[in-house]
Amino acid sequence: MWMEELPNGKFTYRERYKDPYTEKYKKVSVTLNSKSNQAKNKAQRVLNEKIENKLNAKNHNKITFEKLTDEFWQYYPKTVKHRTAKRAYNNQKILNKKIGPEYIIGNIDKPFIQKTLDELYYQENYSLSTTKQVKSLISQIFLFGAKREYINYNPASNIIIKRKSDNSDNATPKFLETEEIRNLLNCIKNKRYRDMAEFMILTGLRYGELSGLTYDNNFDDYFVIDGTFDYTQPITKKVKTSPKTNKSNRKIYHTARTKEIIKEVNEENKFLWLKDSVVKTDYIFCGIHGNPIGIYNFNRALQIAGRKAEIDKYISSHILRHTHISILSELGVELKTIMDRVGHTKPDVTLSIYTHVTKNMQQSMIDKLNNFKI
């Protein structure tokens, strides 16, 4: 240790140590008001502690992947919605098959993560969407480790997953054509489910937004989205949380048909509330017991109807939202207006549907070319 006197009358004590990462010599320092023996002893203790912390940092990255993820999951669920944490937990199960619990995080580098994700997508045929979700999760885990100073950097940053050349992820359009819409609605036996499906097609709501819609949200010419129903919780809890993003807080204008649907549903609800076993609720699209309808029951009804209608696409509540975007695209509505209506913050999903040419648009193009005279 050596000391330097500063112009302001204070004293800086310095000590040299070998950096464990670069193996080059570096310095630590502390400034005190005195050069007494007591001050020198204090300076030595502080410098030794600083050096010890620097040297111990080298050992932080010796912790296992299991320990890092255990710490991450104590923190992560408190920062996101329940359904987001549940989806991430499912992706964690996929990740655990590829990265063993005993793996040392300091030895996990970018090439290893790239190889892991490539195997999931190209060899094990996980969808591009799922692979990207796993990529996002592992990046969050290692970013957490970097913030805890277990590692120096996030090895999962700047990882790129290129879409398969056969474009198989987009082989089946993720929306319904006009004829498919009619067939699907005709094959949904339960009227409440049928009304819900048609309402989603006409508004582009997420299912959580639809099931969380209350009479207080509904006005003469529009309705307001100010929350979403957390359908990952038990249905009887009726948990309405904040919307998915700030952009999801929005006003959606009615069509004549959406007004009519809500009017019909309201009349049916009044009849339900006459029963002693049904508790009156504020939710518009409730079930026979007054509770919001769980997404699993709704999706099952859609899938049964989809098979009956012979629609060769995966049918779920989300395809109805995408169908709304495709309808607006066909009508020539500009991208920003569509994003505002469906509550999209980023244009990626909207653009993927907006730019997808539907059968009707193809036919329109052929009709115009047939009428074109040279």
Active-site amino acid positions: 206, 237, 318, 321, 344, 354
Closest C-alpha among 173, 192, 194, 169 to residue 183? 194
3-state secondary structure of 350: helix
Structure tokens at 103: 């793996």
Tokens, residue 135: 């990529």
H-type helices in 273-358, by residue range?
295-308, 317-330, 335-342, 348-354
DSSP code of residue 170: G
Question: Is the CB of residue 209 less than 8 Å from the CB of residue 230?
Answer: no
Pairwise CA distance, residues 365 & 164, whole Å:
29
Backbone angles phi, psi at 13, to 5 degrees: -105, 135
* Three-state secondary structure of 3-17: EEECCCCCEEEEEEE
Question: Do 34 and 3 contact (CB within 8 A), yes or no?
Answer: no
